Amino acid sequence: MTTFVKRSEIDIRGAKTLPREYYTSPEIFAEERERIFYRRWNCIGREDQIPATGDYVVAMIGKESIIVVRDQGGAVRAFYNVCRHRGTRLCEETHGRFSGTILCPYHSWAYGLDGRLVGAPSTQDIVGFNKADYPLHRVAVETWEGFLFVNLAPHPEPLSEVLAGLDSRVGHYNLPALKVHRQIVYEVAANWKLIVQNYSECYHCSPVHPALAKLTPPTSGENDLFEGALLGGYMVLNEGTGSMSMTGRACGLPVADLDAEEMVRVYYYSIFPNMLLSLHPDYVMFHTLWPVDAGRTRIVCGFLFHPDSLGTSDYNPDDGVDFWDMTNRQDWHICELSQLGVESRAYTPGPYSQRECLSAQFDREVLQALGREAGD
């Protein structure tokens, strides 16, 4: 049974926002890339992006380009986008389909979809050369609830263990069967941490999101995950509100067989470091965050619906998408203002309120990952 607690019961005594350099320093950003994004599981989107043999997507994790492909046996594989000959990048496109092999554009070294080197022209005169010695460098890849995750660490913790705390919450939301209706890409002039911190609290909702505040009380809800890599809980819909949409009405069928309590709740979870997952009764929204540098983040936002909600006049999925596109842009704008502010020499860390407890807990996870403590 899931246990929820009030924000006032989460201990953040003395917590303050992070010092300026955590949002502006290229050195700290490089450290985050190495110690967080290259060691943790990063969500790169949905498994149905690569439904058939040879289908692939290319993800940029920091400076590393990763090919994720479905092989002949139906398994999902991931490799560094680097030829074993001269290091040339193999794929320039962000997605596509390989016709049986992954071919280097420089000297035509060819790799099977399982990463084996299967063709290497003019290597017969190289003493001791063996194609078996030069497979593509593998990257750990796993699926969870219809999502794809990759991890660049040599021996990562199993994804199932990392996300175990979410299983009881999302397991019955039918996520693998939901279909992407729309996807929106945003370029935001703000540090990635400001975006997660903003997502994790509704202290800002009344001044920044007046339309949202009419649908859900900004002080409502409780949290069931409040320390570590998984953070979040629920907020409630106002009586008479069917969904988070421009009209306030449901914009799709229920995504699953939800009980009466869940039909009036929206669950918001951050999955460290780059995924935000929002579970509505009639759709699911997810964000993936792609830090570009200390002051810029690319965000991909996807909207999942029950398949029977799509292609029918009974529902208008764009009613929900448009609501969150508006709300997202309000968030990105305030995050950009925050970025401009923290870059000032006048900025000093300020105290977190209890309503920002999950933002403070997120900061603790960042510092722990970097091997630091508050105040360092």
Structural domains for the chain: 7-37+166-369 (3.90.380.10), 42-144 (2.102.10.10)
By residue count, the chain amounts to: 376
Query: DSSP 3-state assignment of 269?
Result: strand
Longest dimension (CA), the chain: 77
d(CA 302, CA 182): 6
d(CA 219, CA 353): 13
CA distances from residue 211 to 249, 255, 291, 326 in whole angstroms, order as listed: 13, 24, 29, 9
Determine the pLDDT at residue 374.
74
In eight-state DSSP terms, residue 99 is S
d(CA 18, CA 361): 12
Query: DSSP 3-state assignment of 41?
Result: coil
d(CA 102, CA 115): 8
Residues 6 or more apart in contact with residue 348 via CB below 8 angstroms: 20
d(CA 250, CA 242): 5
d(CA 262, CA 282): 11
d(CA 282, CA 250): 6
Write out the chain's pLDDT in tens, 376 residues. 678 999 999 999 999 999 999 999 999 999 999 999 999 999 999 999 999 999 999 999 999 999 999 999 999 999 999 999 999 999 999 999 999 999 999 999 999 999 999 999 999 999 999 999 999 999 999 999 999 999 999 999 999 999 999 999 999 999 999 999 999 999 999 999 999 999 999 999 999 999 999 999 999 999 999 999 999 999 999 999 999 999 999 999 999 999 999 999 999 999 999 999 999 999 999 999 999 999 999 999 999 999 999 988 899 999 999 999 999 999 999 999 999 999 999 999 999 999 999 999 999 999 999 999 776 6
d(CA 231, CA 224): 8
Determine the pLDDT at residue 334.
98
